[in-house]
């Protein structure tokens, strides 16, 4: 009587187990790589109704972030500017530019411009802008070098790990309050009150009692 | 067994070629790790957020404009000098209202606000040579002219609140206290540009090389 299974079948169970382990490793790696805001959100640069360039307005003209996002120090929300804010200058500058037609229309009619939102934490996350900028956390820490962007792109992941990195070690991301909207400020190149940044930041955190919440309810409230 | 590995390798290549790498720029709406279809009311909950859209209201806005005849619940703004820059008989008020303490803190605040909201047109020195003048703006006001040096504080307050000529209102960006802070700083700029030797305190004269 001939054998039903060849001799090599003896190794098959082990080979299947090894394959399943490899498969598990590949699936884990892929999930880890793709199922995170580092992949899903970073790089998001939607086409806006008006091709507003932060590089031009902030870096070249020197406008402060707060000229347009005027409530960021008072409110949890960094507001988009009103059409009138644009028209403060564009009632005189580039008055016939076709690119600015939506702005003029919005100013005339009072209907808002439908800007596409880029940075957005999920609805189950509480985030307050004012408490961050009033404690020396710069715009650049979460939004990247907006001042160099022709088209705004999502630069940082804004994942939970991203938030916690800073909440566990706020010293690394605080700066003097008058430099919060200076996106080119570099902690390594300046001395603050004659001290290197690390030393200054440790005192700043202590003196201002900066204790970022690390408990779940700090943000998931 | 070899075919299983070939299939796996093919799937890896397929996934990477479809999904790409981290950090590449894209314009389509971001993928959801927890899609709303399977996790309803999680990422997008049935609540309005500021400046968000609404399918309920005809104009599509979640932020509602004030209805006609609405009465503010904030304290009554009956201090004409503080909130309108006028005296009791309707003249432009001169000087600062009693509720505003003119001190170094106010001027520092005024300097910060001035730099954000005023300097783009009026210039860091208040000489009307802000960045907009390089873009065919025309001539923003030069605060060192006689008109503005003698202008009552109340009238400057009104200009910030309601705008004047080509300048639009900045009432939405500067609360009344900040407007007075800006006025204090403008007065400081005016004084700085018209300073005399006698304005320098004795102990600072040597630093400036003045005898």
pLDDT digits (tens, 9 = 90+) for A79-108: 999 999 999 999 988 988 999 999 999 999
B50–A79 C-beta distance less than 8 A: yes
Number of domains within chain A: 1
How high is the pLDDT of residue B204? 81
Closest CA to A48 of A149, A142, A158: A149
User: Which is it for the CA torsion B86, B91, B95, B98, positive or negative?
Assistant: negative
List C-alpha distances in Å: A185 to A177, A181, A202, B164.
12, 9, 18, 36
| CA–CA separation, A186 and A188 (whole Å) | 5
How high is the pLDDT of residue A1? 61
What's the mean pLDDT in A49-56?
Answer: 94
Q: How many CB pairs under 8 A join A and B?
A: 111
Sorting pLDDT into bands at 50, 70 and 90, what band is B76? confident
Domain layout of chain B by residue ranges = 80-195
Using a CB-CB cut-off of 8 Å, the residues of chain B touching A16 are 1
What's the mean pLDDT in A129-155?
Answer: 94
Sorting pLDDT into bands at 50, 70 and 90, what band is A147? very high
Using a CB-CB cut-off of 8 Å, the residues of chain B touching A154 are 30
Out of A15, A92, A94, whose CB is closest to B1? A15
Structure tokens at A215: 């408990």
Residue A100 resides in a domain: no
User: Which is it for the CA torsion A34, A37, A43, A45, positive or negative?
Assistant: positive
Structure tokens at A32: 């880890």
Out of A40, A63, A84, whose CB is closest to B168? A84
Out of B5, B30, B45, whose CB is closest to A41? B30
Residue A36 resides in a domain: no
DSSP state of B118: I
Q: Indicate whether this complex's ipTM tops 0.90.
A: no
Substitution target from A30, A34, A46 for chain B, most B beta carbons within 10 A: A34
Sorting pLDDT into bands at 50, 70 and 90, what band is B169? very high
CA distance B158 to chain A (A): 17
CA distance A163 to chain B (A): 17
What's the mean pLDDT in B29-57?
Answer: 90
Give the burial string for B13-48 (b: 16+ CB within 10 Å, else e). Answer: eeeeeeeeeeeeebeeebebbeeeeeeeeebeeeee
Residue A14 resides in a domain: no
CB of A140 closer than 8 Å to CB of A181: no
Structural domain of A152: 50-80+115-219
Q: With H, G, I as helix, E, B as strand and everything else as coil, classify residue A95.
A: coil
| Per-residue model confidence as pLDDT tens digits over A191-204 | 888 888 899 999 99
Residue A143 resides in a domain: yes
Out of B27, B117, B138, whose CB is closest to A92? B138
**Does B178 or B201 have the greater pLDDT score?**
B178
DSSP state of B34: S
B80-195 falls under which CATH superfamily? Cytochrome c-like domain (1.10.760.10)
CB of A181 closer than 8 Å to CB of A64: yes
CA distance A42 to chain B (A): 5
């Amino acid at each position: 009587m001939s054998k039903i299974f060849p001799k090599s079948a003896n190794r098959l169970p082990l080979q299947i187990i090894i394959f399943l382990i490899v498969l598990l490793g590949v699936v884990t790696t892929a999930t880890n790589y793709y199922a995170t805001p580092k992949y899903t959100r970073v790089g998001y640069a939607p086409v806006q109704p008006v091709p507003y360039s932060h590089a031009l307005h902030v870096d070249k003209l020197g406008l402060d972030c707060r000229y347009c996002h005027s409530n960021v120090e008072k409110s949890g929300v960094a507001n988009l500017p009103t059409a009138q804010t644009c028209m403060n200058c564009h009632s005189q500058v580039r008055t016939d530019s076709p690119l600015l037609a939506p702005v003029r229309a919005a100013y005339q009619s009072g209907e808002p411009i439908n800007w596409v939102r880029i940075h957005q934490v999920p609805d189950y996350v509480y985030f307050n802008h004012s408490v961050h900028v009033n404690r020396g956390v710069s715009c650049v820490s979460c939004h990247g070098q907006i001042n160099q962007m022709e088209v705004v792109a999502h630069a940082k992941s804004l994942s939970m790990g991203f938030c916690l990195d800073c909440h566990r070690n706020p010293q690394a991301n605080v700066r003097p309050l008058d430099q919060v909207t200076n996106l080119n400020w570099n902690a390594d190149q300046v001395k603050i009150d004659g001290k290197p940044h690390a030393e200054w930041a440790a005192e700043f955190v202590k003196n201002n009692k900066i204790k970022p919440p690390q408990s779940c309810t700090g943000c998931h409230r | 067994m070899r075919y299983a590995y070939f299939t796996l390798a093919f799937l890896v290549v397929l996934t990477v070629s479809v999904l790409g790498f981290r950090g590449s720029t894209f314009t389509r709406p971001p993928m959801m790790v927890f899609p709303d279809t399977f996790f309803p009311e999680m990422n997008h909950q049935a609540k309005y957020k500021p400046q968000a859209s609404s399918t309920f209201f005809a104009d599509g806005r979640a932020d509602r404009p004030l209805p006609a005849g609405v009465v503010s619940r904030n304290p009554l703004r009956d201090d004409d000098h503080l909130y309108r820059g006028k005296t009791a008989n309707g003249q432009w008020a001169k000087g600062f209202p009693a509720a505003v303490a003119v001190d170094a803190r106010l001027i520092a605040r005024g300097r910060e606000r001035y730099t954000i909201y005023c300097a783009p047109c009026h210039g860091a020195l208040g000489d009307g040579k802000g960045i907009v003048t390089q873009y065919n703006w025309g001539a923003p006001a030069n605060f060192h002219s006689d008109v503005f040096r003698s202008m009552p504080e109340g009238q400057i307050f009104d200009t910030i609140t309601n705008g004047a000529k080509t300048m639009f209102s900045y009432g939405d960006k500067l609360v009344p206290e900040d407007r007075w802070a800006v006025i204090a700083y403008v007065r400081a700029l005016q004084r700085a540009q018209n300073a005399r030797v006698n304005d320098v305190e004795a102990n600072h004269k040597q630093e400036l090389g003045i005898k």
